[in-house]
Amino acid sequence: MTEHRRPVRIANCSGFYGDRLAAAREMVDGGPIDVLTGDYLAELTMLILAKAQAKDPALGYARTFLTQVEDVLGTCLERGIRIVANAGGLNPDGLAEEIRAVARRLGLTARVAHVEGDDLRADLSPIVPPVEAKPLSANAYLGGWGIAAALDAGADVVVTGRVADASLVTGPAAWWHGWEPDDWDRLAGAVAAGHVIECGPQATGGNYAFLDEVTSPNLPGFPIAEVAADGSSVITKHPGTGGVVSVGTVTAQLLYEIAGPAYPGPDVTLHVDSLALTGEGDDRVRIDGARGTPPPATLKVALNDVGGFRNTMTLVLTGLDIEAKAAMAERLLFEAAGGRDRFLEADVRLLRFDTPDAPTNEQAVAHLRVTVKDPDRTKVGRAFSGAVTQLALAGHPGVHTTTPPTDASAFGVYRPAAVPRSAVEQRVVLDDGSGPAVPAPPATAEVPEPPAGEGSTQGFGPTRRAPLGRVAGARSGDKGGDANVGFWTRDDASYPWLRAYLTVPRIRALLGPEAADLAIDRYELPNLRAINLVVHGLLGDGVASATRPDPQAKGLGEYLRSRVVDVPVALLPPGATQEGD
């Protein structure tokens, strides 16, 4: 591998399948970069791509990536910018061929490689726990060394299937700096940088809790990681783009969709509690101090399958006696539909938006949201939505629905699993069909369990009722059926109180009835002034199956920030000392 002394500038142009198409051109033209990356895959995306491939075997990849490649390929070749993306999904070979066709159509010569080996559908036997039926998708999360090998072999464009999101940075960084597979600390630093930029503008002010810090009126720009030879990095963005890169925005993204301080990946386990963040001027944050240890002996596996069929209808309730009207509507609906027990699952949620003596009609309404699931499509199709329609003249006063009668649709079920590394062969395929070998990690290790610890809220002085979010930021998201919420403070003085206040019982009380019987893990990250929480099972069988109005828990952190609690007066900013302010 070639040794480079300066940091490699890795720019991300996509955080999900459907992200801003213009971002690739913006990143290529906005300033000097060495590698253009794009993250297109999520658990739900793999299900979407599997359904597309089931209809047409030539599909199974993120087609929007081709549009971006066509736009920037010529410029990237001219400037020596390598392109690396996981847009191959379930068909990286097919995507690589399409990119070659794009190059020919543009009159360009591009060396295109793809990385495969993650798709386990041909042999499910090594997966743990055992897989009984054939799922729509079954993919192991590969690391970055296949990407590094493809780049070292001269590829201009590298597309992969399901690699860990951070591998899109660890691979190019390892190639650029000539790292070895046992450079644990360097690899861990690259994982940290990759985790920060993988979701695009979430690192540059998007979905950020403290609105007062994001003063730009424009959409946030996409992030860049300048990864140095020692594994440290600077997170930044192109000059003149919207948003902000701050210690806060980087902290928020580091907390996104993780669990404990030890963050295991296919190439290395990053110890998040070793990281140090330092602001280095406008829109530049340094990440250093990363400590890495060998990765686990198994690879994570994501399984997606069709779980059956579902249908949702929403009844509008207006004005007085909302709860009585909801009870009446629910009783009459299931009577007309043949009984609640007719369905495999029935989820009924009363969503309260109404206010007393509302100044407008819209402010006087609540919604009764009813979702039914069943393996039999006919049960939950027009038969169910038709039963709702029957209430139009026979239900509660003011009854109407938000949509006309709908048919059932298939829903997916996500299942996490694992597979021994020996059962997975990561392969690099170059233009001529050949490919270099991909090294396995020279060692593996168990992921350590973090110590438990919860403090006391005594000794912080007098308190007043105020929203939790006046003291703490939050970033939340989904990992399969679990929800993750990371809280952090903006100053050292507030963290001891946050650490003491956010106990598991208190979080359970703030979350309310839906978390009453769920396991909650709590982790402390004092280096980030943060507490991370994992609420197990809050999202059921994953986003494609969840019946929560917020199926990916994107708003869960902001909900918890809105909860009014007893906050020490000394920690509250001016104007935030009154309940509900």
Find the CATH number of the domain harbouring 344.
3.30.70.360
Q: Is residue 49 part of a domain?
A: yes
Identify the pLDDT of residue 453. 56
Residues 6+ apart with CB under 8 A from 127: 120, 138, 301, 303, 417, 418, 419
Counting every residue, how long is the chain? 581
Residues 47 and 184 occupy one common structural domain: yes
Alpha carbon separation from 191 to 69, 160, 173, 382 (Å, rounded): 25, 17, 10, 48
Angle at CA of residue 533, ends 530 and 500, nearest 5°: 55
Give percent above pLDDT 90 in the chain: 94
Query: Is 315 contained in some domain?
Result: yes
**What pLDDT, in 10s, does the model give residues 346-369?**
999 999 999 999 999 999 999 999
Using CA atoms, how far apart are residues 301 and 23, in angstroms rounded to an integer?
30
In this structure, the answer to whether residues 139 and 171 fall within a common structural domain is yes
Q: Distance between CA atoms of 361 and 522, rounded to whole angstroms?
A: 42
Same domain, 481 and 565: yes
The pLDDT value given to residue 439 = 84
Look up residue 258 and give its DSSP letter: -
pLDDT (average), residues 1-27: 90
Q: Return d(Cα 277, Cα 491) in angstroms, integer.
A: 13
Cis peptide before 129 (omega within 30 of 0): yes
| Mutual angle of helices 382-389 and 322-336, in 10-degree steps | 130
The predicted-structure confidence for 42-99, as pLDDT tens digits, reads as follows: 999 999 999 999 999 999 999 999 999 999 999 999 999 999 999 999 999 999 999 9
Q: How many CA atoms lie within 13 A of 580 on its CB side?
A: 0
DSSP secondary structure code for residue 260 in this structure? S
- What's the pTM value of the predicted model, to 2 decimals? 0.96
Which of the four pLDDT bands, split at 50, 70 and 90, describes residue 450? confident
Question: Residue 506 corresponds to which tokens in the numbers above?
Answer: 């208190």
Burial class of 255 by CB neighbour count within 10 A (0 to 12, 13 to 18, 19+)? buried
Find where tokens 């039926």 sit: 133
Q: Taking 90 as the threshold, does the pLDDT of residue 468 lie above it?
A: yes
Q: Are residues 180 and 233 in the same domain?
A: yes
167-176, 267-276, 286-295, 436-445: lowest mean pLDDT where? 436-445
Mean pLDDT, residues 202-206? 98
Mean predicted confidence (pLDDT) in 229-253:
98
Claim to verify: residue 391 and residue 332 sit in the same structural domain: yes
Whether residue 401 sits in one domain with residue 283: no
Q: Distance between CA 193 and CA 197 in Å, rounded?
A: 6
- How confident is residue 454, by pLDDT bands cut at 50, 70 and 90? low
Asked whether the CA dihedral 415, 264, 266, 145 is positive or negative, the reply is: positive
Name the token pair of 57.
């075997």
pLDDT score recorded for residue 551: 95
Which pLDDT belongs to residue 2?
Answer: 47
Q: How confident is the model at residue 77, as a pLDDT?
A: 98
Residue 581 forms part of a structural domain: no
Report if residue 243 sits inside a domain: yes
**DSSP state, 159?**
E
Phi-psi label, residue 80: left if phi above 0, alpha if psi -120 to 50, beta otherwise: left
Asked if 243 and 125 sit in the same domain, the reply is yes
Owning domain of residue 515? 463-571
Taking residues 245-260, report their average pLDDT.
Answer: 97
Cβ pair 254, 195 in contact under 8 A = yes
324 lies in the same domain as 260: no
Residue where the block lists tokens 């004092």: 526
Range scoring the smallest mean pLDDT among 130-134, 447-451, 523-527: 447-451
pLDDT greater than 90 at residue 577: no
Note whether 21 and 131 are same-domain residues.
yes
Residue 343 counted as domain residue: yes
d(CA 151, CA 4): 14
Q: What would the two tokens of residue 221 be? A: 């720009």
Say how far apart CA 168 and CA 37 lie, in whole Å.
Answer: 7
Work out the angle at residue 422's Cα, subtended by the Cα atoms of residues 418 and 428, and round it to the nearest 5 degrees. 100
The answer as to whether 577 is a domain residue is no
Say whether pLDDT at 474 is over 70. Answer: yes
In sequence order, the 6+-apart residues with CB closer than 8 A to the CB of 181 are: 145, 267, 439, 440, 441, 442
Could you tell me if 315 and 282 lie in one domain? no
How far, in Å, are 89, 269, 304, 429 from residue 50 at the CA level? 9, 30, 9, 22
The number of folded domains in the chain is 3
In a domain, 103, yes or no: yes
Residue 414 makes CB contacts below 8 A (sequence gap 6+) with 43, 44, 47, 302, 303, 304, 480, 481, 541, 542, 543, 544, 545
In this structure, the answer to whether residues 354 and 488 fall within a common structural domain is no
pLDDT in tens, 395-429: 999 999 999 999 999 999 999 999 999 999 999 99
For residue 579, is pLDDT > 60? no
Mean pLDDT for 281-294 is: 97
Are 67 and 152 in a shared domain? yes
> Which of 188, 317, 305 has its CA nearest to residue 254?
188
Amino acid in position 458: Q
- Diameter over CA atoms, the chain: 76
Q: Cβ atoms within 10 A of the Cβ of 504, count?
A: 14
Average pLDDT value over all residues in the chain: 95
- Per-residue pLDDT, averaged over 276-289, amounts to 97
Helices (H), 369-475: 377-380, 382-389
Domain presence at residue 86: yes
Q: What is the mean pLDDT of residues 379-407?
A: 95
The answer to whether 399 and 343 are in contact (CB under 8 A) is no
pLDDT at 489: 98
Q: Per-residue pLDDT for 5 more than 70?
A: yes
- Give pLDDT, residue 34: 98
